[in-house]
Structure 1
Amino acid sequence: MAAPEAKVAPSIPPSLSLPPSQFARLQPHAYLLAHLSPPPASNQPSIRANGRAPSQFRVTSANAGSLTHTNGSAVVRIGDTAAVCGVRAELLHTEDIASWSVSQASGSHKRRRLADLGKKSAEEDEEDEEDDEEDRAHIEDLNLLVPNLSLSTGCAPGFIPGAPPSALAQSLSHQILSLLHSTRLVRADDLRIWYQPPNLGPEEPERHNEDEQMDMDAEHSPTSESKPREIKAFWVLYIDVMIISLAGNPFDAAWAAVLAALRDTKLPKAWWDVDNETILCSDNISDARKLCLRGLPVASSFGVFEADAAAGWRPNVIPDAEEQKAQDQKRKKGSQQSWILADPDGYEEGLSQERACIVVDKEQGGKGKTVIMKMEKHGGWTVDTEELRQLVDISARRWDEMKRMLDQC
């Protein structure tokens, strides 16, 4: 008799399980949504894939004075995004400005017109407005602030050697220049080099008789008036920023580096040499002076993550009573679920279509009220007035953190 054949147990197919890193690459939107919207039965808080709360910023550090061949420098790291900024000061003689004589003539005409006004208060108000307009004109029209941002090779996978300047670098350079002008961070008077012409007075006539000379002086002595000061040159600040590591939100890191570098900038003592008709600078470091900046505008960026793009990602299970009630209330309101993420990293930026950036400052060195210097929002309609108020409060708390950090560096 033939031996009975042994029965082979059917093979069980392996379970289809993926590690979190593979799941994040294959389904990035569903992966982030799984963290932000956990099942109600799990009692887990809404947390991002990187472990941060939606309103939490990454760890930030700053170090000033890192570069030796600059007038001011700083290195700022926000998470894995790092930016280096160096400020170089160069002289711009007024003789090299083609429109300088024309602008000076128009300015003197305005001053003579103000001198003819009858009311002193109106004259003072117009003089203040004229000084503010002159400061703005000198900074913007003469291009005294020249920022330039570059993305170093290897800061992110997409930046290869020999590639032309990217659109991102040009956009960030323009944003920094626009914010420097709108906040009026640098004072024009810190960049001016003045010259006071000496008052030589009238030529003394030859003395023949002392009594005769005294009578003539009494009748013809002119009033001694000092000559007005002249601007002989300007300091031009070249603000070079390099992103050495790009892991999301480069603007906040670049602007923080610019702030720290300008706070560290020292300009040497300069004066006009009449004999040589040129500008001379002192080699003594103790004579150098720091810039007197207007406040401390801090930028905070946000990204909006919407859940509708990954609708149906979760398996179809029968919801419990509480989850069904929450879904019904949401369906009645007709609103889509979304999260506003502070300081988005590179992974979250690729999943956010709506962006917001708020620049705030505080009066009286942080003890006064919060002032909104700039507010931008683009890419969607999720952020409304109520959300903007919340973002301003978050930005104000971020300002306190940045102020403490920059004071220590």
Structure 2
Amino acid sequence: MVTSAAAPAPSSRPALSLPPSQFARLQPHAYLLAHLSPPSTNNQPSIRANGRAPTQFRVTSANAGSLTHTNGSAVVRIGDTAAVCGVRAELLHTEDIASWSVSQATSSNKSPRSVDQTEELGEQDDNETIERERAHIEDLNLLVPNLSLSTGCAPGFIPGSAPSSLAQSLSHQILSLLHSTRLVRADDLRIWYQPPSMGPEELERHNEEEQMDVDTAQNDPVEESPREIKAFWVLYIDIMIISLAGNAFDAAWAAVLAALRDTKLPKAWWDVDNETVVCSDSISDARKLSLRGLPVASSFAVFEADAAAGWRAVVIPEAAEMKAQRLARKGGVSERWLLADPDGYEEGLTQERACVVVDKDTDGKVIILEMEKNGGWTIDTEDLQQLVDLSSQRWEDMKRILDEC
């Protein structure tokens, strides 16, 4: 009897293993999902691929007065995203404004408010003052921001390329936020002239010189001549992103805030003899801008476990189904994550974005100045409350950083 030897067992194939860098490039969505939803047996919290918690912002630093040939400047770095901002002030004479009229140039006999008085009044400006400020700053374009992405700030920006749509969009966002928050006071940008008030004797002498036959009573009270606006300061706000690693808007706006807080305008007055504006070259005479509050912008992104689930849905789920989803998320089964301060890797994997701009009054009350959301419909009212709370904490951190720079 012939016995055959048993066939050798087939050798098991070696397991295919990839380094994390290759896995992140081949399957970026699965790579981030693996970090945010670890196995329940590991008892590990959700953590992003960059090592941050979902609600954690990147390390931020700021340095003011970095540029010497500007009225104000700052460098802000948020993670690996860095922005440089310089503010340059130039004069705009009212005689060079085609739409300027005498009614706009004159004001009431009220004396101009000092910086302390303006800060005490705060938001108590009447509607007439608000409309006048809007007309001067917006219609006369007294704030001119311009953002550019420097060559080499990211792999996609090569030498000789035309200005990108991202740079134009960010410039428009910054301009819109400057107008909506009313951060810069129009009175800081006005250059006034107070004509001398002539008493009865001066007025009679003036009439004689002008050969005018006008009777002047000696007891007539001296009326103060109305003030006139002779020129404006125009602030050219140039922002350059020298390193782009996601969330360029927060870095650019923080750089604008720090630069405006550092801006000093020279003392200027109207020279009647030469009919021009004269500026003092003494640094001690320069004055800082009296900004309205400290509006801080915080950006967020929504990462979904199944990025195409929402777009495949024909109709919005009913209220009962949405409630069941929220209960499931509270039980630890999360299908989406709110990511604070997304970096460049996360921005490519998310479609829904949100930006919250908040400020705080003297009593510590949070004031929501602006809230934007685009790209999806998964953020609900509970999430908005969480975003406001995170933005409030971010405001405290940014205030401390800007006060120290």
Q: Same fold (TM over 0.5)?
A: yes
1:30 equivalent in alignment to 2:30: yes
1:378 equivalent in alignment to 2:374: yes
Q: Which residue of 2 aligns with 1:400?
A: 396
Match of residue 297, structure 2, among 278, 296, 299:
299
Describe the SS at the equivalent of 2:92.
Answer: strand
Aligned ranges for residues 61-72 of structure 1 at < 5 Å? Answer: 61-72=61-72
Describe the SS at the equivalent of 1:301.
Answer: strand
Equivalent AA in structure 2 for residue 67 of structure 1: L
Distance change >3 Å, CA 187–CA 168, structure 1 → 2: same
- Between 1:302-311 and 1:350-359, the stretch displaced more is 302-311
* 1:41 to partner: Cα distance: 1.1
* CA distance, structure 1, for counterparts of residue 156 and residue 290 of structure 2: 39
Q: Which has the higher helix share?
A: 1
Describe the SS at the equivalent of 2:398.
Answer: helix
Q: Which residue of 1 aligns with 2:87?
A: 87
* CA distance, structure 1, for counterparts of residue 291 and residue 357 of structure 2: 16
**Contact residue 307 and residue 337 of structure 1 kept, 8 A:** yes
Paired residues in the alignment total: 358
Q: Which residue of 1 aligns with 2:383?
A: 387
Distance change >3 Å, CA 348–CA 103, structure 1 → 2: farther
Q: Which residue of 1 aligns with 2:73?
A: 73
Percent identity reads 80
* CA distance, structure 1, for counterparts of residue 251 and residue 271 of structure 2: 41
* 1:235 to partner: Cα distance: 0.2
* CA distance, structure 2, for counterparts of residue 69 and residue 24 of structure 1: 44
Task: Give 1 or 2 for the bigger CA radius of gyration.
Answer: 1
* CA distance, structure 2, for counterparts of residue 406 and residue 309 of structure 1: 37
* 1:381 to partner: Cα distance: 1.0
Q: Which residue of 1 aligns with 2:16?
A: 16
Q: Which residue of 1 aligns with 2:51?
A: 51
How high is the TM-score relative to the length of structure 1? 0.82
* CA distance, structure 1, for counterparts of residue 187 and residue 104 of structure 2: 16
Match of residue 178, structure 1, among 159, 176, 179:
176
* CA distance, structure 2, for counterparts of residue 391 and residue 103 of structure 1: 46
Equivalent AA in structure 2 for residue 247 of structure 1: A
* 1:135 to partner: Cα distance: 0.9
Match of residue 345, structure 2, among 339, 344, 347:
347
Q: Which residue of 2 aligns with 1:262?
A: 260
- Quote the RMSD (CA, aligned, Å): 2.7
Equivalent AA in structure 1 for residue 386 of structure 2: Q
* CA distance, structure 1, for counterparts of residue 289 and residue 239 of structure 2: 19
Q: Which residue of 1 aligns with 2:164?
A: 166
**Contact residue 300 and residue 357 of structure 1 kept, 8 A:** yes
**Contact residue 298 and residue 394 of structure 2 kept, 8 A:** yes
Match of residue 281, structure 2, among 283, 296, 300:
283
Distance change >3 Å, CA 237–CA 127, structure 1 → 2: closer
* CA distance, structure 1, for counterparts of residue 10 and residue 46 of structure 2: 43
* CA distance, structure 1, for counterparts of residue 10 and residue 381 of structure 2: 62
**Contact residue 196 and residue 229 of structure 1 kept, 8 A:** yes
Describe the SS at the equivalent of 1:299.
Answer: strand
Describe the SS at the equivalent of 1:247.
Answer: coil
* 1:11 to partner: Cα distance: 7.0
Unpaired runs of 5+ residues, structure 2, are 1-6, 110-123, 206-214, 310-323
Equivalent AA in structure 1 for residue 345 of structure 2: Y
Describe the SS at the equivalent of 2:57.
Answer: coil
* CA distance, structure 2, for counterparts of residue 296 and residue 48 of structure 1: 30
Deviations 1:304-328 (A, max 9, x none): 00001389xxxxxxxxxxxxxx99x
Equivalent AA in structure 2 for residue 94 of structure 1: T
Q: Which residue of 2 aligns with 1:4?
A: none
Aligned ranges for residues 110-189 of structure 1 at < 5 Å? Answer: 128-189=126-187
**Contact residue 199 and residue 221 of structure 2 kept, 8 A:** no
Equivalent AA in structure 2 for residue 92 of structure 1: L
* 1:23 to partner: Cα distance: 0.3
**Contact residue 201 and residue 218 of structure 2 kept, 8 A:** no
Equivalent AA in structure 2 for residue 363 of structure 1: D
* 1:8 to partner: Cα distance: 11
